[in-house]
Amino acid sequence: MANASLQSFLLPQHHSFVNTSSSHESSPSALLKLSNTGGSISFRLYSNISPSVTTTSTTNSSAPTPVPPAADLLPAPSLDLLGRQLAAGDYRQADETTRALLIDLAGESARRRGYVFFSEVQFISAEDLCAIDKLWKEHSNGRFGYSVQRRLWEKSQRDFTRFFIRVGWMKKLDTEIEQYNYRSFPDEFMWEMKDDTPEGHLPLTNALRGTQLLGNILTHPAFEEENHKDEATAESATAAATTGQSKDDNKGRERPKIMRDFKPDYSF
């Protein structure tokens, strides 16, 4: 019955599948025939000039129609996500999340553009920058983070070339003359915590084509207070080493003005 019903439906409408010649007396150049075998309906197209073409449709198949997989969606950047990635030691993805967080925190224009202008760093709150920095330090034994980079940058006398060498963003070339070259992103950067991973190596900031963005991050008010603490600690240690006295020996004594004004040499 199913075969008869389909034939009664298809055959009267065979003109939709048949190409006729310009002469009414000539036979059609193509003919559609239907057959039903074992629950499978076959449509065979016979042509005067080309081999037959068969299309098969299974009527009783229980297999579901395949659905193309949905596009993979990246998780929204958040401090919680950053913390989980750092705790798992996935520094590569944590670096990407940090970059995405900076874009999100910098404002609507940065989000539309997909990157941060150096002038937009001022719109990122000190609280948010400190929270990002704290996570990096907590999960790297204090070796990674913006405040760590700020300290090393100051020790490099704010010279970015010397800073890049110090944090390992530039590599020494095997030449007779001492020469350095920028590392190739991402393969030549270090995504694991090892003994030879330079302090301050992460997070990365796109500073190789311009240092203004990184400079504005490192001079953000979020890191000013901590930098002053580092300077005070360095001055105190230098003073103790210079005078040969311990902290207890200096109790109750006012430091000479020349020592109060002394600034240690941060060069290397």
Query: 256-265: per-residue pLDDT in tens?
Result: 343 333 333 3
Residues near 105 by beta carbon (within 8 Å), at least 6 away in sequence: 123, 124, 125, 128
**Amino acid code (one letter) for 103:** I
Instruction: Determine the pLDDT at residue 205.
Output: 86
Q: Nearest 5 degrees, angle CA 23-CA 51-CA 30?
A: 30
All structural domains of the chain, each given as residue ranges with its CATH number in brackets, are 79-228 (1.10.10.1770)
Query: 209-254: per-residue pLDDT in tens?
Result: 679 999 999 999 999 876 656 555 555 554 555 555 444 444 444 4
Instruction: Determine the pLDDT at residue 30.
Output: 52
Instruction: Determine the pLDDT at residue 45.
Output: 54
Distance CA 180, CA 28 (A): 79
Task: Evaluate whether 139 touches 86 at the Cβ level (below 8 Å).
Answer: yes
Tell me whether residue 205 is exposed, middle or buried, using C-beta atoms within 10 angstroms of its C-beta: 0 to 12, 13 to 18, 19 or more.
Answer: buried
Task: Evaluate whether 219 touches 147 at the Cβ level (below 8 Å).
Answer: no
Instruction: Determine the pLDDT at residue 210.
Output: 79
**Amino acid code (one letter) for 143:** R
Mean of all residue pLDDT scores within the chain: 74
Instruction: Determine the pLDDT at residue 119.
Output: 95
Rounded to an integer, the average pLDDT of 157-166 is: 95
Q: Compute CA distances 1 → 8, 36, 264, whole Å.
A: 10, 11, 99
How far out from the chain centre does Cα 260 lie?
Answer: 45
Alpha-helical regions (H) of 2-158: 2-10, 79-87, 91-106, 108-113, 126-138, 146-155
H-helix or E-strand spanning residue 227: helix 224-243
Task: Evaluate whether 169 touches 201 at the Cβ level (below 8 Å).
Answer: yes
Whether omega before 68 lies within 30 degrees of 0, making that bond cis, reads: no
**Amino acid code (one letter) for 10:** L
Instruction: Determine the pLDDT at residue 8.
Output: 44
- Main-chain dihedrals φ then ψ at residue 91, nearest 5 degrees: -70, -25
Task: Evaluate whether 132 touches 140 at the Cβ level (below 8 Å).
Answer: no
Cβ count near 18 (within 10 Å): 14
How far out from the chain centre does Cα 10 lie?
Answer: 57
**Amino acid code (one letter) for 34:** L
The residue among 179, 174, 175, 164 whose CA lies nearest residue 209 is 164
Instruction: Determine the pLDDT at residue 72.
Output: 53
**Amino acid code (one letter) for 156:** S
The residue among 74, 85, 88, 123 whose CA lies nearest residue 103 is 123
Q: Of 43-52, 141-150, 208-217, which range is least confident?
A: 43-52
- Main-chain dihedrals φ then ψ at residue 231, nearest 5 degrees: -65, -40
